[in-house]
Amino acid sequence: MNKIERVDAVLSGAKPDRPPLSLWYHFGVQHGSGEQFARLALEYFRYYDLDFLKVMNDYFYPPPAGIDTVKNAEDLAKLDPLDIDRTEWAEQFKALEILQAELKHEAYFIDTVFDPWQSIRRNMAGETIKTLMDQYPDALLKALDVVADNLIAYGKRSLAIGSAGILMSVPAASEIVSRTDFLKFVKPPALKVFKALFELGRLNTAHIHGDDLYFDDCLDFPVQAFSWWDRGPHGPSMASVKPKTDACVMGGIDQTLVARTSPGFLKNHVREGIALGGDTRFFLANGCSIQTWTFPGSIKAIVKAAHGA
């Protein structure tokens, strides 16, 4: 099978010749151009001979003009509909256009976004998000709905360019947000985005982010795949998730081990991960981003084991 046939087999529920593999980390070039990012992504993808490319997106959600910290309802009201082509996301679109031209007949790529709650928290309200949830819940919900619409517009553009799907990171863990706040502020706008994009992509993926996950609360996300830290201390295991959903599972590799263990260890770790994933509906991947300074020989060992060597 070639790379595209391998992914298609998994999505159709058939058994591939081997599980499709992808690994990813943040390149740290959010200050640079889309052309530079595309070159690095392609070089990385081809150097390690991965099966599909998970395109990172380090161009942050655009904050309102003149606001460096979102602190109250007035600040939240300034989160408006965006002209997505007049934001730094235009650089991501440039990268996607290059990737589509280069990989169109070679492999699928999926694009990355961060859910509406995380989009606000990451660079606008990291230290104030709890205050916003507690003191300005109605204003925050309105702002999250606006952000969801902007992410839908982004996702539609990305898919139109050529992305096979959108991987959206959704923080759904007790160490990040309480379950009450997750169900009120995080899940509804994330669900809105997934619903709007589901029929437009063939590999839309929910990355359920964190350690102690509210995984069952996420099972109604309409996606073709779920990604999470399945080999973390709390799981859940891929075997326990598969009977609960028709979607594929994506995991098997503990990202915390990749930069801290030997190539020999990682080969065995990957073989174990493949056995845990099963013969069908399984993509082999890291549970979350690996370290940028990972030894290339370690990644090559992962690829070799994934190829059956």
Helices of type H across the chain:
3-12, 34-48, 73-76, 89-103, 116-123, 129-135, 137-161, 179-181, 187-197, 238-241, 263-277, 296-306
Confidence class for position 108, pLDDT limits 50, 70, 90: very high
- pLDDT of 48 strictly over 90: yes
Sheet holding 225-228, edge to edge: 21-22, 282-286, 248-253, 225-228, 205-209, 165-171, 109-114, 53-55
State the pLDDT at residue 151: 98
| ∠ Cα 28 227 87 (to 5°) | 40
Percentage of the chain lying above the pLDDT 70 cut:
100
Confidence class for position 57, pLDDT limits 50, 70, 90: very high
Question: CB-based burial of residue 85 (10 Å sphere; 0-12 exposed, 13-18 middle, 19+ buried)?
Answer: exposed
State the pLDDT at residue 215: 98
Question: CB-based burial of residue 145 (10 Å sphere; 0-12 exposed, 13-18 middle, 19+ buried)?
Answer: middle
- Average pLDDT, integer, range 144-158: 98
CB contact at 8 A, 210 and 169: no
In angstroms, rounded to a whole number, what is the distance separating the alpha carbons of residues 197 and 192? 9
| ∠ Cα 37 69 207 (to 5°) | 50
State the pLDDT at residue 309: 83
State the pLDDT at residue 274: 98
pLDDT (tens digit, 9 = 90+) per residue, 213-230?
A: 999 999 999 999 999 999
Where are the chain's structural domains?
A: 3-306
Contacts of residue 80, Cβ cutoff 8 Å, sequence gap at least 6: 64, 146
For the domain made up of 3-306, give the CATH fold.
TIM Barrel (3.20.20)
Task: Look up residue 9 and give its two tokens.
Answer: 């087999």
- Average pLDDT, integer, range 238-265: 98
Q: What is the pTM of this model?
A: 0.97
- Average pLDDT, integer, range 177-206: 98
- pLDDT of 198 strictly over 90: yes
- pLDDT of 15 strictly over 90: yes
pLDDT (tens digit, 9 = 90+) per residue, 252-303?
A: 999 999 999 999 999 999 999 999 999 999 999 999 999 999 999 999 999 9
